[in-house]
Amino acid sequence: MKLGIFGGTFDPVHYGHLILAETARESCRLDEVRFLPAYSPPHKQDRVITTGKQRVEMLELATAGFPEFVVDQRELNREGTSYTVETLTEMAEQFPDAELHFLMGADSLIDLPNWLEPQRIAELARIIAVNRDSSSSAELHEVVNNLPDSIRSAVTILEMPQISISASDLRFRISENRSIRFLTPRPVERYILEHGLYRRS
Protein backbone atom coordinates (compact mmCIF):
# COMPACT_ATOMS: atom_id res chain seq x y z
CA MET A 1 0.00 0.00 0.00
CA LYS A 2 1.28 3.46 -0.94
CA LEU A 3 -0.01 5.95 1.58
CA GLY A 4 0.12 9.72 1.05
CA ILE A 5 0.27 11.94 4.14
CA PHE A 6 -0.75 15.56 3.74
CA GLY A 7 -0.42 17.62 6.90
CA GLY A 8 -1.39 21.24 7.34
CA THR A 9 -3.61 23.69 9.09
CA PHE A 10 -6.31 23.64 6.38
CA ASP A 11 -7.77 26.88 7.70
CA PRO A 12 -9.69 26.68 5.42
CA VAL A 13 -9.17 23.86 2.95
CA HIS A 14 -9.25 25.08 -0.66
CA TYR A 15 -8.82 23.85 -4.23
CA GLY A 16 -5.05 24.30 -4.07
CA HIS A 17 -4.90 21.64 -1.34
CA LEU A 18 -7.19 19.29 -3.24
CA ILE A 19 -5.38 19.63 -6.56
CA LEU A 20 -2.05 19.01 -4.83
CA ALA A 21 -3.43 15.85 -3.21
CA GLU A 22 -4.97 14.58 -6.45
CA THR A 23 -1.83 15.34 -8.48
CA ALA A 24 0.27 13.39 -5.97
CA ARG A 25 -2.24 10.54 -5.83
CA GLU A 26 -2.24 10.13 -9.58
CA SER A 27 1.43 10.80 -10.32
CA CYS A 28 2.83 8.71 -7.46
CA ARG A 29 0.11 6.05 -7.74
CA LEU A 30 -0.94 6.45 -4.13
CA ASP A 31 -3.69 4.17 -2.86
CA GLU A 32 -4.83 6.73 -0.34
CA VAL A 33 -4.11 10.31 0.72
CA ARG A 34 -4.68 11.20 4.36
CA PHE A 35 -5.33 14.84 5.29
CA LEU A 36 -3.98 15.52 8.79
CA PRO A 37 -5.11 18.85 10.24
CA ALA A 38 -2.59 20.03 12.82
CA TYR A 39 -3.61 20.79 16.39
CA SER A 40 -0.95 23.45 16.87
CA PRO A 41 1.59 23.92 14.04
CA PRO A 42 5.04 24.94 15.36
CA HIS A 43 5.36 27.67 12.70
CA LYS A 44 1.94 29.24 13.34
CA GLN A 45 2.02 29.86 17.05
CA ASP A 46 1.46 33.58 16.52
CA ARG A 47 -2.08 33.45 15.14
CA VAL A 48 -5.46 32.16 16.25
CA ILE A 49 -6.51 29.03 14.36
CA THR A 50 -10.08 27.93 13.73
CA THR A 51 -11.15 25.04 15.98
CA GLY A 52 -10.07 21.55 15.02
CA LYS A 53 -13.68 20.42 14.87
CA GLN A 54 -14.55 23.08 12.29
CA ARG A 55 -11.45 22.42 10.18
CA VAL A 56 -12.25 18.69 10.17
CA GLU A 57 -15.84 19.35 9.16
CA MET A 58 -14.67 21.54 6.26
CA LEU A 59 -12.19 18.86 5.16
CA GLU A 60 -14.89 16.20 5.28
CA LEU A 61 -17.17 18.37 3.15
CA ALA A 62 -14.36 18.98 0.65
CA THR A 63 -13.41 15.30 0.31
CA ALA A 64 -16.89 13.75 0.48
CA GLY A 65 -17.44 11.23 -2.31
CA PHE A 66 -13.74 10.56 -2.84
CA PRO A 67 -12.86 7.34 -0.95
CA GLU A 68 -9.14 7.75 -1.72
CA PHE A 69 -9.14 10.89 0.44
CA VAL A 70 -9.34 10.33 4.21
CA VAL A 71 -9.47 12.91 7.00
CA ASP A 72 -7.18 11.71 9.81
CA GLN A 73 -7.64 13.39 13.20
CA ARG A 74 -4.69 11.87 15.06
CA GLU A 75 -2.81 15.17 15.53
CA LEU A 76 -5.96 16.87 16.84
CA ASN A 77 -6.59 13.97 19.22
CA ARG A 78 -2.99 14.04 20.41
CA GLU A 79 -3.20 17.81 21.08
CA GLY A 80 -0.11 19.85 21.82
CA THR A 81 2.36 20.99 19.15
CA SER A 82 2.10 18.87 15.99
CA TYR A 83 5.48 17.48 14.96
CA THR A 84 5.71 15.58 11.67
CA VAL A 85 8.30 13.11 12.94
CA GLU A 86 5.95 11.99 15.72
CA THR A 87 3.06 11.55 13.31
CA LEU A 88 5.13 9.58 10.80
CA THR A 89 6.51 7.34 13.55
CA GLU A 90 2.97 6.59 14.72
CA MET A 91 1.74 5.90 11.19
CA ALA A 92 4.70 3.64 10.41
CA GLU A 93 3.74 1.57 13.45
CA GLN A 94 0.06 1.52 12.49
CA PHE A 95 0.74 0.65 8.83
CA PRO A 96 3.94 -1.46 8.94
CA ASP A 97 3.48 -2.74 5.39
CA ALA A 98 2.72 0.66 3.84
CA GLU A 99 5.10 2.86 1.88
CA LEU A 100 4.69 6.35 3.35
CA HIS A 101 4.81 9.45 1.14
CA PHE A 102 4.84 12.82 2.87
CA LEU A 103 3.41 15.65 0.74
CA MET A 104 4.67 19.17 1.18
CA GLY A 105 4.85 22.45 -0.68
CA ALA A 106 8.13 23.90 -1.93
CA ASP A 107 7.85 26.67 0.67
CA SER A 108 7.87 24.11 3.49
CA LEU A 109 10.71 22.15 1.91
CA ILE A 110 13.02 25.15 2.28
CA ASP A 111 12.48 25.09 6.05
CA LEU A 112 12.57 21.30 6.44
CA PRO A 113 16.16 21.19 7.84
CA ASN A 114 14.89 23.29 10.78
CA TRP A 115 12.06 20.87 11.64
CA LEU A 116 12.30 18.42 14.51
CA GLU A 117 14.46 15.44 13.43
CA PRO A 118 14.41 16.08 9.65
CA GLN A 119 16.71 13.14 8.92
CA ARG A 120 14.34 10.80 10.73
CA ILE A 121 11.46 12.19 8.65
CA ALA A 122 13.43 11.31 5.50
CA GLU A 123 13.97 7.78 6.84
CA LEU A 124 10.30 7.23 7.60
CA ALA A 125 8.80 8.52 4.35
CA ARG A 126 9.46 9.55 0.80
CA ILE A 127 9.13 13.33 0.61
CA ILE A 128 6.99 14.57 -2.28
CA ALA A 129 7.86 18.23 -2.87
CA VAL A 130 5.29 20.15 -4.92
CA ASN A 131 5.56 23.61 -6.48
CA ARG A 132 2.25 24.96 -5.16
CA ASP A 133 2.61 28.54 -6.31
CA SER A 134 4.60 30.40 -8.98
CA SER A 135 7.91 28.82 -8.03
CA SER A 136 9.60 27.46 -11.13
CA SER A 137 10.91 23.96 -11.61
CA ALA A 138 14.49 25.29 -11.63
CA GLU A 139 13.95 27.05 -8.29
CA LEU A 140 12.50 23.91 -6.74
CA HIS A 141 15.45 21.83 -7.93
CA GLU A 142 17.79 24.40 -6.43
CA VAL A 143 16.03 24.09 -3.07
CA VAL A 144 16.42 20.32 -3.19
CA ASN A 145 20.10 20.56 -4.16
CA ASN A 146 20.76 22.74 -1.12
CA LEU A 147 19.35 20.16 1.28
CA PRO A 148 21.64 17.89 3.30
CA ASP A 149 22.43 14.62 1.50
CA SER A 150 20.51 12.56 4.06
CA ILE A 151 17.32 14.46 3.23
CA ARG A 152 17.84 15.12 -0.47
CA SER A 153 17.97 11.42 -1.32
CA ALA A 154 14.41 11.00 -0.01
CA VAL A 155 12.91 13.87 -2.04
CA THR A 156 10.87 13.49 -5.20
CA ILE A 157 9.89 16.66 -7.07
CA LEU A 158 6.34 16.81 -8.38
CA GLU A 159 5.08 19.61 -10.58
CA MET A 160 1.41 20.57 -10.52
CA PRO A 161 -0.74 23.17 -12.30
CA GLN A 162 0.11 26.68 -11.16
CA ILE A 163 -2.81 27.73 -8.98
CA SER A 164 -2.16 30.68 -6.70
CA ILE A 165 -4.70 30.00 -3.96
CA SER A 166 -3.82 30.28 -0.29
CA ALA A 167 -5.78 29.92 2.93
CA SER A 168 -4.51 33.33 4.07
CA ASP A 169 -5.96 34.92 0.92
CA LEU A 170 -9.32 33.25 1.52
CA ARG A 171 -9.38 34.50 5.11
CA PHE A 172 -8.52 38.01 3.94
CA ARG A 173 -11.20 37.96 1.25
CA ILE A 174 -13.83 36.89 3.76
CA SER A 175 -12.76 39.59 6.23
CA GLU A 176 -13.23 42.12 3.41
CA ASN A 177 -16.65 40.68 2.46
CA ARG A 178 -15.26 39.55 -0.90
CA SER A 179 -16.20 36.42 -2.83
CA ILE A 180 -14.39 33.10 -2.37
CA ARG A 181 -16.48 31.39 -5.04
CA PHE A 182 -14.49 28.84 -7.10
CA LEU A 183 -11.58 29.02 -4.63
CA THR A 184 -12.93 26.28 -2.36
CA PRO A 185 -15.67 23.67 -2.85
CA ARG A 186 -19.18 25.07 -2.61
CA PRO A 187 -20.07 23.05 0.56
CA VAL A 188 -17.01 24.53 2.31
CA GLU A 189 -17.95 28.02 1.14
CA ARG A 190 -21.47 27.58 2.54
CA TYR A 191 -20.08 26.22 5.83
CA ILE A 192 -17.81 29.25 6.24
CA LEU A 193 -20.65 31.66 5.59
CA GLU A 194 -23.14 29.81 7.82
CA HIS A 195 -20.70 29.71 10.74
CA GLY A 196 -19.43 33.25 10.26
CA LEU A 197 -15.81 32.15 10.06
CA TYR A 198 -12.97 34.59 9.38
CA ARG A 199 -15.18 37.66 9.76
CA ARG A 200 -13.76 40.72 11.44
CA SER A 201 -14.87 40.88 15.05
CA atoms in the 13 A half-sphere facing the CB of 187: 11
Report pLDDT for 120. 97
Q: Is the pLDDT of residue 135 over 80?
A: no
Q: Is the pLDDT of residue 201 over 80?
A: no
CATH of the domain at 67: 3.40.50.620
**Per-residue pLDDT tens digits for 15-24:** 999 999 999 9
Lowest mean pLDDT among 1-15, 68-82, 149-163: 149-163
Beta bridge partners of 32: 3
* Contact between 133 and 162 (Cβ < 8 Å): yes
In a domain, 192, yes or no: no
In a domain, 115, yes or no: yes
Domain count, the chain: 1
168 residue type, one letter: S
pTM exceeding 0.95: no
Range of the domain at 113: 2-164
